[in-house]
Amino acid sequence: MLDYLKYWTGVAVLAVAYAGMIVGGDWVWAGFVMFPLLSLLDSFLPRDYAPRRMTREWLADIPLWICAIGPLLLYLVFAWRFAEGAYVDVWQLVGAVLSLAWTSIVPLAPAAHELYHKRTIIGRTIGRYAQMCQFDPMRDIAHVVGHHIDVATVKDGDTARRGTTLYRFVIMAVWEQTVWDVTTESAALQKRGYSRWNWRHRGWRALGSQVLFQGAVWIIGGWQAAAITTGAMLLTRVWAESFNYFQHYGLVRAIGAPIGRRHLWNHLRWLSRVLSFDITNHADHHLNSYKRYYQLVPHRDSIPMPSLFVCFFASLIPPIWHELIAKPALRRWDLEYATPEEQTLAREQNRAAGWEDWLGQVGQQPLATRPATVGC
């Protein structure tokens, strides 16, 4: 039962945000304040390699559904309290925007991700449209059809090349993913004999759902509430991309080569796992995307990465991210985990980034002499 309770941590975060939003005033910051507090706590917690002993799917799904739907309803609560004058100055409105954006990332983003990977129509539908909070109800297209196939290759927009800063990456990722979603859906329609912009295109439903939701906010709180929540969603859209940056940064794989556990970074601190519904247990998810979050097995042989929160704050200052976290991890990855073909790709990226040539300094090891973990 303790394993089930762990994943109610996201519900608790959401409850704090609801309490602050309803009370109003400076308390509206309560939801966002959870972000630095949890970041600090997670950085000191030990790594969690424990498998989950959870067998009742319906019980494991309860916090998942709450965390996917709850943040959406929080926007309506904001509109209601805004109309009642609960927030009286710019400071409090900034707190509202940040609290809405934070809960649209944690716990909503990983909960929605888990749902749209489910095989049920209801789960996939809720997972998709919960991402209205990110202005991205079509996110699953690029993720499932593109990212899960192309991860760690040059074709994958979610894998940042070495030397890329977080700021450049998120701008590129928003654009590339949007284009991928729209063009992939259009191509699928053409294969079925319809025009590229047929009314069946999911883009129309995504746009319609966004208009309806913002319309509900407008009706409850007026045009100002609609404008403020739109700002929170746009912030969330950019913020959401940053988490792909940390989970894939700099890793390389030849196009068409098998995906292995080594092609993903894992962030296995206790809070990182439970708040993300184990999406930070990333390697096992990519080997079988239909595995439920509680079935994922932590990869003990992977290169240990810091807390996901630590990675986020470090990446805000690119030299700190590159010198203290990314380069040491990638140097070890290149020398201990990469195949000869991957070493060639890595060396090219290192050169393009202006990094030192650590592979040239030590010479490329033949695959047979490297640890057995290279094939995992």
> What's the pLDDT at 370?
45
Under 8 Å between Cβ of 63 and 10: yes
Residue-level pLDDT at 369:
41
Residue 47's SS3 state is strand
Distant-in-sequence contacts of 261-265, Cβ < 8 A, 24+ apart: 261/287, 261/299, 261/301, 261/302, 261/376, 262/302, 262/333, 262/337, 262/338, 262/373, 262/374, 262/376, 263/151, 263/152, 264/151, 264/152, 265/302, 265/303, 265/305, 265/329
Whole-number Å distance between alpha carbons of 75 and 18: 10
| pLDDT interval class at 41 (50, 70, 90) | very high
Helices (H), the chain: 2-6, 9-23, 30-44, 57-83, 90-105, 108-116, 121-129, 139-141, 148-150, 166-191, 202-248, 270-275, 282-287, 308-315, 318-320, 327-336, 340-353, 358-362
pLDDT confidence tier of residue 355, bands split at 50, 70 and 90: very high
pLDDT value at residue 368: 35
Cα–Cα separations (whole angstroms), residue 224 to 91, 219, 312: 16, 11, 31
Nearest Cα to 249, choosing from 139, 348, 158?
Answer: 158
pLDDT given at position 166: 97
254-308 tens-digit pLDDT = 999 999 999 999 999 999 999 999 999 989 999 989 899 999 999 888 898 999 9
Residue 373 tokens, joined = 């973990």
pLDDT of 28 > 70? The answer is yes
71/104 Cα distance (integer angstroms): 6
Whether the predicted pLDDT of 139 surpasses 80: yes
Given this model, what pLDDT does residue 362 score? 64
Q: Is the pLDDT of residue 190 over 50?
A: yes
Longest distance between any two alpha carbons in the chain, whole Å: 69
**For residues 320-329, average pLDDT:** 97
Span 216-220, mean pLDDT? 98
pLDDT at 363 over 80: no
| Single pTM value for the model | 0.92
- Which pLDDT does position 374 carry in this prediction? 37
pLDDT tens digit string along 74-132?
999 999 999 999 999 999 999 999 999 999 999 999 999 999 998 899 999 999 999 99
Output the pLDDT for position 361. 79
Q: Taking CA 90 as the corner, what is the angle to CA 87 and CA 92, rounded to the nearest 5 degrees?
A: 45
State whether residue 269 is helix, strand or coil.
strand
Per the prediction, the chain carries an average pLDDT of 93
* pLDDT on residue 371: 41
pLDDT for 119 = 84
- Nearest Cα to Cα of residue 177 among 209, 151, 202, 140: 140
State the pLDDT at residue 328: 97
Q: What percent of the chain has pLDDT over 90?
A: 89
